[in-house]
A and B are shown apart, each in its own frame.
Chain A
Amino acid sequence: MSKEPVAVTGIGQTRHVAARRDVSIAGLVREAARRALDDAELTWSDIDAVVIGKAPDFFEGVMMPELYLADALGAVGKPMLRVHTAGSVGGSTALVAANLVAARVHGTVLTLAYEKQSESNAMWGLSLPIPFQQPLLAGAGGFFAPHVRAYVRRSGAPDTIGSLVAYKDRRNALKNPYAHLHEHDITLEKVQSSPMLWDPIRYSETCPSSDGACAMVLTDRAGAARSPRPPAWLLGGAMRSEPTLFAGKDFVSPQAGKDCAADVYRQAGIADPRRDIDAVEMYVPFSWYEPMWLENLGFAEEGEGWKLTESGVTELDGDLPVNMSGGVLSTNPIGASGMIRFAEAALQVRGQAGEHQVEGARRVLGHAYGGGSQFFSMWLVGDRPPTS
């Protein structure tokens, strides 16, 4: 028996900001969930199950927050699941929800991811003072910066590429009312003269810390037929993991990322991603990860990804737009960031991305990664249902 086709018929986000002091965590997730239901023109009683994700409990210090959020998400009397895969969690949460529909376990599932960074301490949550170990020497940026240097060495990319990505993503964010950073006076010169925090990563090439939530309504064929607006259809979705550290790990282009993309393309019948995919929302917390992931995801040969960035291919009006929403570089409520990528991909194929809409986007990839480049989750969505 073939799988049930899965459609995205509702999408909701909060307006992401540095601190939402006016709402509790429940109030924050409720806002995104309500907007997703409104978009799908459904009520709480139309939802069969809720699948929620966020980054580590240590971030906000609320243990198993899904239990207390059941009221806010209308989950009382229904199955509620929590997913956790570090920074990729927003993506894997959506995939777990999609699998419940594809397997015909549930007809309509609400999926949601969030982070309230202003009430959390990611640095503390990730670097506990473990006895006998040397303290972490450099923080998150310092963890990723040596990998960026390794990429530059391997690819021979000019050192300006990172700034081009940041300048593009921050300009794209100006067209997205939900984005956190709206830097109206951004210039390439400002990016290039911003302080070098973890050489080779500059201040303007790093993501902000945001409060936000993102929700989607996923449903089956019957649900899609009742949808008031065009649905996005899931054409392929996959997750892969690998250890954080092992002999032979390639931090520049992790094998798990390559395998995950290959699985998605196989499911969706994509022979040449560069030709067959119209746009990408990928998880780029530090600007240099755009060319790195372009190679990892098969949009460019190894060592060639930066050329797509440099030649303007990844601009909003380019041939393969990347991070039309402004991306993680403009908005980063960690647990939600992966789901925002997936949701933005769906908005594009539904033709509902507003000012940052890519004309004629029919197949768009959403991508997330997390941990020390150890968890990957991706989905490809299209404007038409899968053919097989």
Chain B
Amino acid sequence: MPEVLKAPLVVEFPFTRSLGPVQSAFLTGLRERVVLGVRTTDGRTLVPPVEYDPVTAQEIRDLVEVAPTGTVTTWAWNHAPRRGQPLATPFAWVLVRLDGADTALLHALDAPGPDAVHTGMRVRIRWAGDRTGAITDIDCFEPYDGEPEQPGDHTGEFDNPLTGIVAPARLDYTYAPGRAQSGYIDALSGRRTVGERCPSCRKVYVPPRGACPTCGVATSEQVEVGPRGTVTTFCVVNIKAKNLDIEVPYVYAHIALDGADLALHGRIGGIACDQVRMGLRVEPVWTEGARYPDHYRPTGEADADYDTYKELL
């Protein structure tokens, strides 16, 4: 049995966010070195601010400035910072209650080691030099033994307020397709298509998943199918998809390979788009070095009778 395959899968995307009035003021404030909180119905000041009162659910918009100095309420040492974290050297994750606030803000504290950090210690914001209206406008916190700084009286009205941000997201996976698909991919390297037969309903699954989705039992009996097959249904794609290097128009078809009990999807070539029809008999066209057939082309056989493939659309 071939080795089970593995490969990295990186999912990465820059998401946009509309901020709404409260987050807009908060992030614009950071750009201007002003930290804003919001006053709740019962008079507490929440930093970072929220749009709706967590207790009464009322809409809250009363923004108040708090000081850039504060007190660590709890912390955890980060021995090995990862990509995208606030500091590249080991640091403390801290919750800081800024002077004038009733709640704490999560950020990083630059300290030489865990022995230099304790709950109750006084800290101050270290501002980033280049500020754009983001939480990273606070570079980090640093230990501070001076007097508490007095907050200003900003109410959140700014010129050029920020209304949206881009939040990049990235996830790193290790993808393993499993035993059945690994076998299928291995056979493809010899230009053979191999499915698996369900021991219960006897249907042949291509590509195989290692289990029959209808019967819920494991499959293991390998069955070679094709190489020829029948176009059971299709569409003509006239718009170019992003990141896909295929010239339009092209035919995207469901192809039931001979011996398979469901259709797989592929492109039809070697024939004008308006000549493609349900029932067309096709065969794979391979290109050097590719894992999958590049496309399928007509075999020249007579079209398959509708009744022979009507269950395979």
Contacts and interface: CB of A to CB of B under 8 A. Distances in A.
B132 interface: no
B234 interface: yes
Contact of A123 (B19, B242, B292): B242
A223 interface: no
Given A139-B241, A201-B235, A71 B57 contact: yes
Contacts of B56: 44
Nearest to A144: B235
B250 to A, nearest CB: 8
A58 to B, nearest CB: 8
Contact of B23 (A22, A24, A138, A249): A24
Interface in B139-189: 163-164, 167, 169, 175, 177, 181, 185
A119 B214 contact: no
Interface string A237-273: 0000001011111011000000000000000000000
B11 interface: yes
A71 B278 contact: no
Contacts of B164: 21
A299 interface: no
Contacts of A243: 213-214
B254 A146 contact: yes
B233 interface: yes
- How extensive is the interface on chain A, given as a class? 35 or more
B97 interface: no
A26 B52 contact: yes
B291 interface: yes
Contacts, number: 166
B278 A131 contact: no
Interface stretch (B82-90, B103-111, B260-268): B260-268
B237 to A, nearest CB: 5
B253 A246 contact: no
Interface in A120-138: 120-121, 123-124, 128-135, 137-138
B214 A76 contact: no
Contact of B50 (A61, A71, A195): A71
B224 interface: no
Contacts of A26: 20, 51-52
B5 interface: yes
A141 B303 CA distance: 27
A119 B17 contact: yes
Contact of B233 (A73, A121, A153, A248): A153
A148 B313 CA distance: 11
Contact of B235 (A118, A138, A252): A138
Contacts of B292: 134
Contacts of A142: 235, 237, 252
A259 to B, nearest CB: 15
Contact of B236 (A128, A131, A133, A198): A198
A245 B57 CA distance: 44
A60 interface: yes
Nearest to B23: A24
B51 A71 contact: yes
B309 to A, nearest CB: 10
Nearest to A59: B15
B262 A196 contact: no
Contact of A132 (B20, B177, B213, B236): B177
Interface in B36-87: 50-57, 59
Chain A contact surface mostly? loop
A149 B234 contact: yes
A196 B236 contact: yes
Interface in B4-24: 5, 7-9, 11, 13, 15-20, 23
A199 B236 contact: yes
Contacts of A251: 313
Contacts of B291: 132, 134
Interface in B89-132: none
A385 to B, nearest CB: 30
B9 A23 contact: no
A78 to B, nearest CB: 10
Contacts of B238: 195-199
Interface in A141-180: 142, 145-150, 153-154
B307 interface: no
A71 B19 contact: no
Contact of A129 (B9, B204, B233): B9
A107 interface: no
Contact of A131 (B7, B167, B254): B7
Most buried by A among B8, B51, B278: B51
Contact of A24 (B7, B17, B235, B261): B17
24 contacts: A20-B18, A21-B163, A22-B20, A26-B20, A58-B11, A71-B57, A72-B57, A120-B15, A121-B15, A131-B5, A131-B8, A131-B177, A132-B185, A137-B237, A137-B267, A138-B252, A142-B237, A145-B252, A146-B252, A150-B278, A246-B212, A247-B203, A247-B261, A251-B313
Interface of B: 5, 7-9, 11, 13, 15-20, 23, 50-57, 59, 163-164, 167, 169, 175, 177, 181, 185, 198, 201, 203-205, 212-214, 232-239, 241-244, 246, 249, 252-254, 261-262, 265-267, 278, 291-292, 306, 310-311, 313
**Which 3 A-B residue pairs are closest in the complex by CB-CB distance?**
A145-B235, A74-B57, A24-B20
Given A131-B7, A142-B252, 5 more contacts: A30-B59, A121-B13, A150-B278, A197-B238, A248-B203
